Amino acid sequence: MLRGEIAAGTPVDLILDARAGAVFFHVGLVGEHPEQQLAALLATVVAKGIEVR
């Protein structure tokens, strides 16, 4: 876990919850309108965390 990857046993539901939580944070708490750039950034973060190394 020192390189930033997500542990192999992490449930997919937890990964999806984290993505949804980030969107809800930006919309509900920060008040930002979600844009495609946010979606792309979140997808990159998740993909980087679950990629095979």
Choose between 14 and 49: higher pLDDT: 14
Q: Supply the DSSP symbol for 49.
A: H
Would the pTM of this model clear 0.75, i.e. be above it? no
Q: pLDDT digit string (tens) for 22-47?
A: 888 888 888 878 788 888 888 888 77
Q: Which residue has the tokens 């980030």?
A: 22
Domain ranges of the chain: 12-50
Q: Token pair 């309108």 is at which residue?
A: 33
Integer angstrom CA distances of residue 30 from 9, 36, 44? 32, 17, 21
Q: Would you state the pLDDT for residue 1?
A: 45
